[in-house]
Chain A
Amino acid sequence: MSNKHTIMIIDDEKIVGDMAKLSLEQEGYEVETFLNAESALSRLKDRPFDLIVTDYKMKGIDGMELLKIVRQSYPTIKVIMITAFANLDTAIEALRGDVHDFFPKPVKIKELKASIRRALNEQ
């Protein structure tokens, strides 16, 4: 399947990436996981991705900064933000930054999948 959509998962906890990768690969997506935004950004230089699922709070470049960079350099990539620290302000900030969707953790995988489907069908 060469027309697989490609998804990047960025979260500083390995478990989130591992679980998301397994669930999304079963849907037929091609998934790569990263423990920080720096390594993810460097990978973006090598190959294109259709969608990014990123944690909000990370050491180094955090989710919002990453969002800004992606918006500037890769405007077609959809971004879904997830965070352990859910409050209205972070949600508003993220949505203003043009994220496709925003989820507080724990995230129901089914809902994440539905959101990804919506995001990718829009393309």
Chain B
Amino acid sequence: MKERLSGFLQSVLNTLRGRRSSPLPFERLFELFRQVLEGNNKAIELITDMGDTLGGDYLFDITYIRRVYAELSEAIRGSLVNFEALTLQRYSGLSEAFRLIDGQIGRMINDAGPSVAEPVIFYEDITWDMTSAVGGKNAHLAELKNNLKLSVPEAFVITMRAFEELIQQNDLAGRIEHIGKEDQCQDSESGELYERIMNAELPTDVDDAIGRAIERIKKRCGEHCFLSVRSSAEEEDGDYSFAGQFETVLNVPLERTAVTNAYKKVVASLFSPRSIAYQQQVGMAPGRLKMAVGCMVMVDSLSSGVVYTSPPSDDRNELLVTAAWGLGTAIVDGSVNADLFVIDKAEGLEIREEKIGTKESMFVALEEGGIVQTKTPEGMRTQPSLMPSQLRELAALSMQIELYYKKPQDVEWAVDKSRKMFILQARPLRMQNKIKVNPAFSDAMLHDKNILMRDRGTAVQRGIGTGRVFVLRHMDELSRFPKGAILVSKYDSSNFIRIMPYVSAILTDTGTPASHMASLCREFRVPTAVNTKDATAVLRHGQEVTVAIDDDGRITVYDGIIHTMPGAGYQNPAQMEDIYEYRKKRYILKHIVPLNLIDPLRDNFTVAGCKTLHDLLRFMHEKSVMELVEKAQYGGKMVARHAAVRLNLPIPAGIILIDIGGGLASSTAAHSISFDQVASEPLREIIQGMLYPGIWRSDAVALKANDFMSSIMRMPDIMTDNSALVGYNIAIVSREYVNLGIRFGYHFSTIDCYCSDTDRNNHIYFRFAGGATDITKRSRRIQLIAEILKAYGFSINTKGDIIICRISNIGKGTIMDILNQLGRLLSYTRQMDAMLHDDGAVRRYADKFLAADYAL
């Protein structure tokens, strides 16, 4: 009974620790391990090749991507088969992760449709692989809601699938294809398409799904809430701004007809003349873009605005907040003189600068639906629309988002009347490249030039533009805008997209650097300044001027065209990233190259953390190593099955060798061998370290009385409690591999190392546990080891008296140096814990060890 109970406990413990004896012989496991590495290597080489080829230095086509991806996918599939055999399908989710990523990439390569079949999906059900189904903007927001748990309002998405059905059922595909084929789409054609969508019949399943979603929102938020209905096109908010190109319908009542009408309005805006112009200008064939639409519960906003986590001035330590009363429409339209706050990211989120705007008007939601612009109540106009505490809260949230996406962000936010902060949108912020304008150009060289305007307004895009002033009085005049002129306007507007390729510079009286127009100016690199107060009054229509906005954001307008202006006519040169087709193809790499699983000792190192093929490869490598480490613990059982030989050394290390291929000199048939007959390179190096002159102390270090008590009170670790093993230390070896489990008294160390000529295959795993002294001293020894191994670049995890250290992807020479040091460390720390009487001793002995002074 007692035996059965202990057997049961042992099996429970083994299950809990994930240790299972493998039915496969270790040689076979090792062979599988090597095959995983081989497949991974091939995959990494292909990934590198793809990264290089798609890096902008090569002309490539989809045939190339198809060919290389087929090879890559095949290599990973092969690795997966071997990995599953090695790990006994322990990580069964990994095949599914691969299937998802592979499916995503396959769809991108084949330009196929979205993966989600439902016409409507709620944010909480959106996962990372659904971008093509819900659009970039929705995918980002859902990620912030689901992963970062940020306060994003309730929302559902009418998916790309619904869009496809709408187009199909109304026979619009032909019309759309037609406009895509023409070099210049006529306004009348896109106008007709717009009308046809507005009058289109929604497919029944889409209509019903929207109805159900509305009911669900009513249950959650009440009958009287409203929706904002916004576009989320395929690439939108990914690498392209599309700022303000599509319709947004705000404050839509929770009624099916109202929502479906708003939906159609947003979808139809894909074909508005403005949007078609934008698509053509960025090199997309119009008609190829699809659109998902997000329906989000409206925040009853007290104030709202935009945060740039890095301002256009490019000071990465600053964060720029634009804020105004009411809805955010005024800010993104640029139609209000908003509050501007500059926050210091480094210095405890201090407010570095504030400019309180005049905020004459504001947008508010109407009770019956829709929004209206009204005059801001007098008392509120010059009041800051955000309190310092709210600013800091907002700054912290925005930085969290920036950290998550690892890129500067453009964040839309709103504060409701109960002062709760909501995130409404987050997208990557387009940053400016530094332009090479001589900072001294404005003064020394131009002292005789007449300055018309200086240091007024906010810089949006740096650069220099020359030409005749075109003062815009009415939007209709845009069609008469002459190529190469300088646009001067009272307001800013995303309608300016139509002249972006021809305009030399833009100056506006009002507006904020956070408006849609500002985004477009950065995208098209048009030198632009907003909020200049009176450019329309100062500059005359037809007057020749030179606009210079330097790297520090200084804005100067000179009278006349200065031909000698350094950098004149110079905007940032076009780059490969500006080519839509290029970016779209390169987008595939996003599912292949980035590495999210960085440290195997951290929490996200899981199957669920695998978002790219690179992650999969990294995961397989690490877990394969762990599998070997774990299976090698059954070395004791292997002694019976394999020819095991004793290694004779001048120190009593008691090492038994099990050779799984090339670990011993071929002539060996004896029961014991000398060091010379060891062919395993990593083991030779460890032993040489252990034998380093003067490092192995044969005299026992005196235990203090309480240490002695500890040593007899402590139960030996179950892991090492195998009576067959007592007295032996087992090393499983091949020429390139060693797994050495060494038990000295009460502590147990494992070194597992694969060391080949291919750097990225190589790893060292080191684990050390236990000891004879009390926990304080044992912990000090762990700290000592951590201090020493940190110096060698190990990634380290400690818990109580256990330390696990990992290092990988390093050259053979370095591996050998480290193994030698580990050998020394094994000898050095054998009785070290008894010496560590105080915390200071840890640093002292670590320094001594690193200086090769081994005297205790």
Contacts and interface: CB of A to CB of B under 8 A. Distances in A.
Interface of A: 11, 13-16, 18-20, 22, 26, 82, 84, 105-110, 112
B702 interface: no
B58 A15 contact: no
A15 B579 contact: yes
A89 to B, nearest CB: 18
Contact of B57 (A16, A26, A105, A110): A110
A105 B576 contact: no
10 contacts: A11-B61, A19-B56, A19-B579, A84-B64, A105-B59, A105-B60, A106-B53, A106-B60, A107-B58, A109-B58
Contacts of B60: 15-16, 105-107
A15 B583 CA distance: 9
Contacts of A22: 574-576, 578-579
A13 B576 CA distance: 16
A26 B56 CA distance: 14
B573 interface: yes
Given A84-B61, A84-B64, 15 more contacts: A11-B61, A13-B61, A15-B60, A15-B61, A15-B579, A16-B59, A18-B582, A19-B576, A19-B579, A22-B579, A105-B64, A106-B64, A107-B59, A107-B60, A108-B57
A46 B262 CA distance: 48
A82 B59 contact: yes
Contacts, number: 58
B812 interface: no
Contacts of A14: 285, 581
Nearest to A25: B574
Contacts of B585: 15
A86 to B, nearest CB: 11
A16 B57 CA distance: 12
Contacts of A110: 57
**Secondary structure class of chain B's binding surface, majority of residues:** helix
Nearest to A55: B61
B791 interface: no
Interface residues of B, number: 22
B360 to A, nearest CB: 45
Interface string B390-429: 0000000000000000000000000000000000000000
B444 interface: no
Contact of B63 (A26, A105, A108): A105
The 8 A-B residue pairs with the shortest CB-CB distance, nearest first, are A15-B581, A106-B60, A106-B58, A84-B63, A13-B61, A107-B59, A18-B579, A106-B53
B283 interface: yes
Nearest to B284: A14
B62 interface: yes
A11 B64 CA distance: 14
Contacts of A18: 283, 579-582
B433 to A, nearest CB: 15
Contacts of A105: 59-61, 63-64
Interface string B31-71: 00000000000000000000001001111111110000000
A65 to B, nearest CB: 20
Contacts of B61: 11, 13, 15-16, 84, 105
A13 B578 CA distance: 17
Nearest to B59: A107
Interface in B818-844: none
Contacts of B580: 18
B67 to A, nearest CB: 8
Nearest to A107: B59
A105 B62 CA distance: 10
A10 to B, nearest CB: 13
A107 B59 CA distance: 5
Contacts of A107: 58-60
B582 A19 contact: yes
Contacts of B56: 19
Nearest to B50: A106
A9 B267 CA distance: 35
A15 B283 CA distance: 10
Contacts of B285: 14
Contacts of B574: 22, 26
A16 B63 CA distance: 12
Nearest to A14: B581
Contacts of A108: 57-58
Contacts of B53: 106
Interface in B554-578: 573-576, 578
Contacts of A19: 56, 59, 576, 579, 582
Nearest to B585: A15
Contacts of A13: 61-62, 581
A13 to B, nearest CB: 4
A122 to B, nearest CB: 22
Contacts of B576: 19, 22
B573 A26 contact: yes
Q: Which of B53, B58, B59, B578: most chain A CB closer than 10 A?
A: B59
A108 B52 CA distance: 10
A106 B579 contact: no
Nearest to A11: B61
Contacts of B575: 22
Q: Which of B56, B57, B578: most chain A CB closer than 10 A?
A: B57
B317 to A, nearest CB: 34
Contact of A112 (B59, B581, B582): B59
A31 B333 CA distance: 38
Contacts of B58: 106-109
A114 B573 CA distance: 21
A66 B764 CA distance: 59
Given A15-B579, A15-B581, A15-B582, A109 B59 contact: yes
Contacts of B57: 108-110
